[in-house]
Structure 1
Amino acid sequence: MQHTELLRKIAERSATVGIIGLGYVGLPLALTVVEAGFKRVIGFDVDPQKIHTLKTGGCYIKHLELSRVQNAVENGLTATADFSLVAEVDVLILCVPTPLTRHREPDMRFIINTLSAIQPHIHAGMMISLESTTYPGTTEEFLVPTAQRHKLTPGKDIFLVYSPEREDPGNKQYSTASIPKVCGGVTEQCLAAGTAFYRTVVKEVVPVSSTKAAEMTKLLENIHRAVNIGLVNEMKIVADKMGINIHEVIDAAATKPFGFTKFTPGPGLGGHCIPIDPFYLTWKAREYGINTRFIELAGEVNRAMPEWVVGKLMDALNDQGKALKGSKILVLGIAYKKNIDDARESPAIRIMELLRDKGAEVAYSDPHIPVFPKMRDHHFELTSIEPTAATVTKFDALVLTTNHDQLNLGQIFASAKLVIDTQNTGYPGKNIVSA
């Protein structure tokens, strides 16, 4: 009976949808749910600034169109910190962070705190979907006991699913609605509820046999990318020692129409998924007595890239008769990828810390991040510098870490005394060193 009623509400778009976490995953999803025709969507967040911004018609994520946010607010999206409203929700989606601890183990605080907040308000007939990236078994270990404390049986009284987010901020080709959605349920009835809901929101749903399979799918996607980036980063170091242009080699290899997938090297890994997700699996694998040596090696290579970039900078300064200590260094772009305002896990931040620790005077320029963001483990009291010809010439070297389209690199590089280019921009000049 509960299942039939939930499916009816979903089909009619009369279900109230709640989304916990209005960040880079939750807010685009909330907009998409409203655009799919659901008349009441409640966005929950503990950040009062986000709630205030949405209520006053603003948007705090730059790559989202302001008109989309305003239209969503006009058509049923509300933002709140009042978790008692979970009692009125039919479909609840959890989009909370899952970072790592200092010991590179899963930090489940956000999931635990969220479940504690909603515990008094969950009820029969609702569906709860976890979208946060995590290790296989999380849904069964955390969501199922939460339901059972209310004497709610998954698949009968309540419907629990795992459907990993696949957001790619700033990607204009793929949106929340157009990216296929993997979904696994605790039971067949749970899966049916999950697929029924997501099929109203996205173009394609990919059902899998269990929540563990869905959780592992997300990890495989990002581990695949992390391992291949680790490979080309290591190849870059080898090629550099041999005097070979690794980018020429990659482009040549990519002409093969089969058996090769193009990945490009860089200053390290950034973002909320790729630098973190592999360690969720390596941590869980140890429970089964398995050492994921291949995955961990790729992680070591990628984590070492900021040190390699700084080494290239030190060598280049040394060739000019300068020491890194006391030099003025401008880091260009601190977002983890181009044209977005997200600096989470950005290798640029680690490069800045290494430079500071070695005695350099560090500044940054990023058109998308005017003030250095508040971070749990990284602290700089800095604001973005406008990279004009006059300001650039004041620095002993520039390190390009993120090549935003708004950066006029031709003009910037022409004015610079020394450039460490980690992005293979192809600009010529004796003052430009590829890294």
Structure 2
Amino acid sequence: MVGVIGLGYVGLPLAMAVAHGGFGVIGFDIDPEKIVRIEAGSSYIEAVASDTLSGHVASGAFAATTDFERLGDCDVIVICVPTPLTKHRAPDLSYIVKTTEAIAATLRRGQMIVLESTTYPGTTDEVVRPILEKTGLKSATDIFLGFSPEREDPGNRNFRTASIPKIVAGDGAEASSLMQAFYGAVVEKVVPVSSTAAAEAVKITENVFRAVNIALVNELKVVYDAMGIDIWEVVDAAKTKPFGYMAFYPGPGLGGHCIPIDPFYLTWKSHEYELPTRFIELAGEINSSMPRYVVDRLAEALDMKLGRALSRCRVLVLGLAYKKNVPDIRESPSLKLIELIEARGGEAAFHDPHVQSIPATREYLCFKGRASTPLTEEMVRGFDAVLLATDHDDVDYASIAAWSPLIVDTRNVFGRMGIAADHIVKA
């Protein structure tokens, strides 16, 4: 029996892949609403079809519970809980610590415990292992400990959990062999590395790579804009080079559960070694500054095109999710855009076909319950400007171009569609 703790964007798809691999699975979560929906066969994650979920529930291959005492029934336990940052950009490992303590309460000889949550190198050995060994059971002797970073990409229909190569590492040779055997039955390709710390470093490296390159192209956007050069034209031309270049595109800021957060886990850990992480910290500064840059461009466009101050305008933010075609708003720059617009006296609303209302968030609790504005001609014409923040596919952009007096496009949607007009401004 396999236990998966945390039934969110990582845990629920993993649970489905494990069940498909022929294992019995128990899903654990502290949210009783998720359990109710799972028992009804209704998926709340786009990567998991309700038919797939209901099939595994009906067959008995998958069950969900809030009863963590059932962890003792599991031979393999996989931890898929959040790893956010504190207000001071330090790792918040409270979810990992509490989950590991819950596992320790029912820990028995022969169990394998796997951490999938993204974290700094050394967490499995320095945080998880000591908590488990307080029970008197020893890793690599009585129990088996491993790390395998999640690599989910919400909204990416080209890959699913089972088709993404899986990095695996165990604490000791036997744990490593067990990790390879378990995940080898679940995913198409397993990539073993020498230690749990190396596996943790793999995921951090992947996200640092993206954060730094996105920061670079965001900085180039600001510089080229001042020169009257279109950054999207430049990137599209540069990517025709068949070697030595990889295209990254600018945007209104970083969002999601990985790239805005994970690099700072390495920054924090590097202080222990008295080593600077200049690229990571600079990338964070640049990416964090993008929402303010976009709102400045919005204010300039309102003044130049319409002769109006932002403080007297109504702005429709198009797209609340952090990326296209998903309902995920974690760390979304759209929330910051709304906050900045309102801080300057403007009125902001949003439309998102995937987000009907704003749920409770730690940083923007005051936005809770705000509903998505219907995208009708009357509604759009009632706003002074549309600020395009997320380029969802299922939006009628041609109509928006016809209805809105001013559009500020942070994703080059209208450029890609060949729609050019004086009232469409790139930012």
Contact 2:97-2:128 at 8 Å conserved across structures = no
Whether 1:236 and 2:221 are equivalent positions in the alignment is: yes
Q: For residues 157-182 of structure 1, give each alpha carbon's deviation from its aligned partner in whole angstroms, at most 9, with x where no partner exists.
A: 11100000000011111110000000
The corresponding residue for 1:74 is: 58
Deviation at 1:116, TM superposition (A): 2.0
Deviation at 1:21, TM superposition (A): 0.2
Contact 1:63-1:340 at 8 Å conserved across structures = no
Whether 1:198 and 2:183 are equivalent positions in the alignment is: yes
Q: 2:334 aligns with which of 348, 352, 355?
A: 348
The corresponding residue for 1:44 is: 28
Unmatched runs of 5 consecutive residues or more in structure 2: none
Describe how 1:31-430 pairs up with structure 2 within 5 A: 31-38=16-23, 40-75=24-59, 76-319=61-304, 320-379=306-365, 380=367, 381-425=369-413, 426=415, 427-430=419-422
| Whole-angstrom CA distance in 2 between matches of 1:201 and 1:158 | 21
Q: For residues 366-392 of structure 1, give each alpha carbon's deviation from its aligned partner in whole angstroms, at most 9, with x where no partner exists.
A: 010101111111131410011111110
Identical pairs, percent: 52
Unmatched runs of 5 consecutive residues or more in structure 1: 1-15
| Whole-angstrom CA distance in 2 between matches of 1:188 and 1:329 | 58
| Whole-angstrom CA distance in 1 between matches of 2:147 and 2:261 | 19
Letter in 1 for 2:266: L
| Whole-angstrom CA distance in 1 between matches of 2:327 and 2:209 | 25
Higher alpha-carbon deviation: 229-238 or 112-121: 112-121
Q: For residues 97-138 of structure 1, give each alpha carbon's deviation from its aligned partner in whole angstroms, at most 9, with x where no partner exists.
A: 000000011011111111222221111111000000000110
| Whole-angstrom CA distance in 2 between matches of 1:284 and 1:334 | 32
| Whole-angstrom CA distance in 1 between matches of 2:16 and 2:211 | 30
Deviation at 1:361, TM superposition (A): 1.0
Deviation at 1:60, TM superposition (A): 1.2
Letter in 1 for 2:371: T
Describe how 1:14-33 pairs up with structure 2 within 5 A: 16-33=1-18
The corresponding residue for 1:9 is: none
Partner SS for 1:177: helix
| Whole-angstrom CA distance in 1 between matches of 2:127 and 2:200 | 13
Partner SS for 2:412: coil
Partner SS for 1:195: helix
Contact 1:96-1:111 at 8 Å conserved across structures = yes
Partner SS for 2:348: strand
The corresponding residue for 1:12 is: none
Deviation at 1:290, TM superposition (A): 0.6
Deviation at 1:63, TM superposition (A): 4.1
Contact 2:41-2:51 at 8 Å conserved across structures = no
Q: How many residues align?
A: 419
| Whole-angstrom CA distance in 2 between matches of 1:207 and 1:357 | 49
Partner SS for 2:250: coil
Higher alpha-carbon deviation: 248-257 or 125-134: 248-257
Letter in 1 for 2:7: L
| Whole-angstrom CA distance in 2 between matches of 1:349 and 1:147 | 39
TM-score between the two structures when normalised by the length of structure 1: 0.95
| Whole-angstrom CA distance in 2 between matches of 1:21 and 1:413 | 42
Letter in 1 for 2:410: T
Whether 1:433 and 2:417 are equivalent positions in the alignment is: no
Partner SS for 1:206: strand
Q: For residues 330-352 of structure 1, give each alpha carbon's deviation from its aligned partner in whole angstroms, at most 9, with x where no partner exists.
A: 11111111110100011111111
| Whole-angstrom CA distance in 2 between matches of 1:383 and 1:63 | 24
| Whole-angstrom CA distance in 2 between matches of 1:428 and 1:191 | 56
Partner SS for 2:206: helix
Q: For residues 66-117 of structure 1, give each alpha carbon's deviation from its aligned partner in whole angstroms, at most 9, with x where no partner exists.
A: 1111112123111100000000000000000000000011011111111222
* CA RMSD, Structure 1 to Structure 2 (Å): 0.9
TM-score between the two structures when normalised by the length of structure 2: 0.97
After the TM superposition, which segments of 4 or more aligned residues of structure 1 sit over 6 Å from their partners?
none
